[in-house]
A and B are shown apart, each in its own frame.
Chain A
Amino acid sequence: MRYGARGRGSIVGVAAALVLTLTSCGGGGDDKPGSAAKEPGTGPERTAISVGMLPVPDVAPLYIAIQKGYFKAEGLTVTPELMTGTAAALTKQAGGGLDIILGNYMSVFTAQEKGVGKFKYIADGYQAGANGFNVMVKADSTLKSGADLRGKKVAVNSIGNIGDLSVVSSIKSHGLGKGDVQWVELPFPEQAKALDEGRIDAGWLTEPFITYAQKQFGAKTLIDTMSGATKDFPISGWSATEKFIAENPRTIAAFQRAIGKAQAEAAADREEVTKVVPTYTKMDKETAAVISLGAFPTSLSSTRLQRVADLMLELKFLSKPLDVSSMLAGPAQ
């Protein structure tokens, strides 16, 4: 509602202003309940927070923390909300609709550069492992290496993101750049079929879709995009707006403690991840047990994340250098 008065001058505003006032008093709103702390100065400022997630293995620690009661122990009630992608979620977060998200580093850095809002990372989330993000081709494809991708149709789940970045980084050694490949945006679930049909020449996939593509269509791996310059590449972390962090330091600290515990458990025991993934996706247990997983880092390192911004700049995904350390608000050491 905060932006109501501002939106009023715009085309949307004119139409939305009416809706806005009506939804706020007409029973349309379900404002986040119970945000006030019982005792000032000790508990979290806000006890109920909404957290943006994607139905992917990366988000497992969130559900470990929910299911094992780590958030509850900190006095937090976490409501997970499905995002359709970080870009859309950031818009919602800038408007106050989401408190914390598992934001992929590239989208958040891009949004920061474009002035969409001021975002900060409060904990690292997920880091790529071997064979976790592969360029796949169909079984009888004539493509043999990254060099063959010149002029080919390559699908990624979201253009201008980690997909094309890692593919470009992998084919750079063959003298190819961003403009030498024809990018198609296609959700992961649709890519295997498109490959099989020959509508795309290659698809950049993650788990469980790599496993599905291999099983259902006999697709094979052309490139493991998380190798070389992108080996152990940071994928996503837990982020919030600067404003939210400044206003709710104890809530953030509580979240960091709970998620940190869960990250550590996920990192130590794969079984924990395998168990929790089928509860928030439609993946079955057998698939969850065999997919390739990345790592769950337990600390927020500016040197590690600066790699992302530097590679983005080098491959022209950012227009000017970005100092990542200003965007980190890791747990107090």
Chain B
Amino acid sequence: MRVLRWFLGLLVAAVVVLVWERATTWMRAAEIEGSVFFPPPSEIVSKLHTLWFSGPADRLFLTDAAYADLLPSMGRLLTGWSIAAVAGILLGVALGRSRTFSQYIDPLLQFGRAVPPPMLITVFIAMFQMGTQMQLVTIVFGVIWPVLLNSVEGARSVDAKFLDSAVVFGLTRVQRLTRVILPAAAPKISAGLRLSLSLALILMVISELVGSTDGIGRHLLLSQRRFELADMWAGILLLGVLGIILNAVFLAVERRVLAWHRQARQVI
């Protein structure tokens, strides 16, 4: 079954790439208007390689452009996401455990999550220092909502029996938080974190479209302006690959952490 599963998936992927290659090559050969916008995938992949991954071995095969585009972008993405994760979980658990507190804040939160983050870029530029600070704020604002709302849900739905027995056993507030509430809310929080991570990739690109001196978003913007379409597609491909890697790493970490949490929960 497992083999069949992989086989089917890869087969379809291969067919898609093949059709794509043939169609775009044909478009170019037939000199169809607009064909410059759709370079063949083979060209995109080789562009991806020369742009970012053709560096020397002692630099992990990364080129200078990779250091200029890839690393700052990843740095922003992970920093922004981490800040949003910590802030979202802390605030979310607090809101989830205190109904009164959450009633004060709820309208503001509901409003905040409804605002399209790209609209706020001008506002953030006015409020914060342009560059990394503004970019981080944009990412954090855009990705905090799933973590926050899931943390609220998770913390709210902790079984009262667990909490009662925790009190009976004389657990302190901090212990109740780390031993009971967090483990119980972990699956929900984790789902929120995963959604936020994929959003962070989008927000990273958006935040780099204005006033940046480096990053994948800027690369996309510049290649669009100069009509270097293969460069632009290489950027899109890179984002796809990054998304898959981030998701895979997250799932691997999640499995370990949640397993640990389940054990911790059994101890109580």
Q: Is the CB of B227 within 8 A of A182?
A: no
Which B-chain residue is minimally distant from A115 (CB atoms)?
A: B36
A177-190 near B? 1/0 per residue, CB < 8 Å: 00000101111011
Q: Is the CB of B211 within 8 A of A185?
A: yes
CA distance A10 to B42 in the complex (A): 12
Contacts of A25 in B (CB 8 A): none
Q: Is the CB of B34 within 8 A of A187?
A: no
CA distance A14 to B34 in the complex (A): 17
The answer, among A10, A107, A189, for a CB contact under 8 Å with B24, is: A10
Q: Is the CB of B129 within 8 A of A197?
A: yes
A9-B23, A10-B38, A13-B23 known; A194+B225 contact, CB < 8 A: no
Q: Is the CB of A160 within 8 A of B130?
A: no
The answer, among B125, B131, B227, for a CB contact under 8 Å with A116, is: B227
A13-B23, A110-B226, A193-B126 known; A3+B34 contact, CB < 8 A: yes
Instruction: Decide if A218 is an interface residue (CB 8 Å cutoff).
Output: no
Among the stretches A87-95, A136-144, A248-256, the one at the interface with B is A87-95
Interface set, chain A 189-218, CB cutoff 8 A to B:
189-190, 193-194, 197, 199-200
The answer, among B22, B34, B211, B213, for a CB contact under 8 Å with A6, is: B34
Among the stretches B101-109, B136-144, B196-204, B216-224, the one at the interface with A is B216-224
Interface set, chain B 30-73, CB cutoff 8 A to A:
32-38
Which B-chain residue is minimally distant from A155 (CB atoms)?
A: B211
Number of A-B contacts (CB under 8 A): 96
Q: Is the CB of A11 within 8 A of B20?
A: yes
Interface of B toward A, CB cutoff 8 Å: 16, 19-20, 22-24, 26-27, 32-38, 122, 125-126, 129-131, 210-213, 218, 221-222, 224-229
CA distance A184 to B227 in the complex (A): 19
Q: Is the CB of B211 within 8 A of A186?
A: yes
CA distance A243 to B32 in the complex (A): 13
The majority secondary structure among interface residues of chain B is helix
Q: Is the CB of B38 within 8 A of A185?
A: no
Q: Is the CB of B226 within 8 A of A190?
A: no
CA distance A243 to B147 in the complex (A): 51
Q: Is the CB of A111 within 8 A of B227?
A: yes
Instruction: Decide if A117 is an interface residue (CB 8 Å cutoff).
Output: yes
Which A-chain residue is minimally distant from B34 (CB atoms)?
A: A3
Which A-chain residue is minimally distant from B211 (CB atoms)?
A: A186
The answer, among A6, A107, A186, A194, for a CB contact under 8 Å with B23, is: A6
Q: Is the CB of B224 within 8 A of A190?
A: no
Q: Is the CB of B227 within 8 A of A190?
A: no
CA distance A63 to B210 in the complex (A): 29
Contacts of B218 in A (CB 8 A): 185
